Amino acid sequence: MPVWRVEPAFQGPECGKFWIWGESSMDSDPPGNDPVPLMIAPSTSSIVIAAGLRSPWIKAGGQFRGEDAGHLGATVTRELLARTGVPAEELDEVITGAVGPPHDQANLSRVIALRAGIPREVPARTVARNCASGMEAVTQAVTEIRAGNGSLYMCLGVEVMSAYPLIMGRKLTGFFESMMKARSLPARLATIASFRPSMLAPRVALLEGLRDPVTNLLMGQTAEVLVRDFGLTREACDTYATESHHRARMSRDRGRFEREILPMAPLSRKPIKDLVRHDDGIRNDQTVEALGRMRPYFEKPDGVVTIGNSCGITDGACALLITTEEKARELGLQPLARIKSYAWAGCDPSRMGLGPVFSSKLALEAAGCSLADMDVIEINEAFAAQVLACKQAFSSDDFAQKHLGQETAMGEIDPAKLNPNGGAVALGHPVGATGARLLLTAAHELAVGDHNLALATLCIGGGQGGAVVLERMDGSAV
């Protein structure tokens, strides 16, 4: 007699639907026969970005230098709940991505949730995937919804790089340990005599965090590897960086970012004269000539990567409501975009900047789309060189054959589609928050530009890539 089996389709063009399989009895079927799919039934509801909001992206050491991650994340979360009218008690969980959460805010997501006024009965977890931590929070929510574990998640990416500490070095730690163990006066005097000024040299958490422990390369040095691999020039990188600033300035001036940004009064011991309203890394009059005068930072004296054509060290937070289309309607929300697919991929850690190529291939296949189908492409600008290398890899038959297992290239990227509002070279890169910001910016751009499909992708320190394909919802507000 027939046996029926229902399986969700998580990959390919049928993603978000269910396969219904029919199998005959094993007695009557020849050995090795595969089950035959009889029909494809749509799932009850697709998964959407229902709403989102972010803080301004502020240069580390600037207006957010007095902030802490818990306060920054809670401020954005509280406002998003207020604007949408979503009852906090209906949230299934709060998921927060962060790379360097404060040591005194264990499980940062829980701190944010409680400070935002979310009931204590709602659980929270903190996740990390380096630069993609904010995107990781979203994809974990998608996985939970697909698994039937919930239908409404608050997802955040948060990073306050201003608060990254100087760490006591091992020599100084050993000195204090010896002092604690010394019981007699002679022992204490001997320990004091062993002190050397060099013991005071701190470990810089930021620099250590930006160095890959496997290859021992700083992230900027991995970009220099790509410079050599793809024959990139200093002028090309500076030209790309200049364009990023120009696009960001034009988008800011026409009010494009007002759709995303919550004006904020930052934590400060001094009186606040005005709210922080804009991303402050944008250089209004940036020129290629000015960037050309900057010295190489990672490989001296003849490297290509400089501070000027790299992303800025930045503070920021971004919150997204992830739910089903059905739940969004129930809550009276008009979603920003449908999450059509996502994918993660690994690659060579010394060439981590190519991660978007590998992950985008998988995400596009899962969505049943091609690169040419994308109307908007958001690639995080960790370095101008890294984005230019990705563009070449996307369009290279040779790269596709050697690394992607296919005969032809994924395709050329139209410069007009790529980061139309500028990217991290101009806006900055608060590492744990950027993945969420890319999704928010891409979702809004679908409506603003009257587009249908968007790809948001980024490289990840350690040699990975993450990518999400978004689809515009009917009726998305312009």
Out of 131, 311, 318, 390, the active site residue is 131
The CA-based angle 435-459-364, given to 5 degrees, is: 80
Q: Is 459 a catalytic residue?
A: yes
Out of 246, 429, 444, 451, the active site residue is 429
Q: Is 245 a catalytic residue?
A: no
CA distance 131 to 31: 48
CA distance 217 to 223: 10
Contact assessment for residue 206 and residue 430, using Cβ atoms and an 8 Å cutoff: no
Q: Tokens for 234? A: 């200093």
Please, which residues have CB within 8 angstroms of residue 93's CB and are 6 or more apart in sequence?
Answer: 122, 123, 124, 125, 141, 144, 150, 153, 154
Contact assessment for residue 437 and residue 134, using Cβ atoms and an 8 Å cutoff: yes
3-state SS assignment for residue 321: strand
CA distance 268 to 450: 40
Place of tokens 């079927």: 29
Number of Cβ atoms within 10 Å of the Cβ of 331: 17
Burial of 239 (C-beta count, 10 Å sphere; 0-12/13-18/19+): middle
Q: Which residues pair with 48 in a beta bridge?
A: 323, 338
Q: Where are the alpha helices (DSSP H) in 194-344?
A: 205-209, 219-230, 234-253, 288-292, 325-330
Q: Is 131 a catalytic residue?
A: yes
Provide the annotated active-site residues: 131, 429, 459
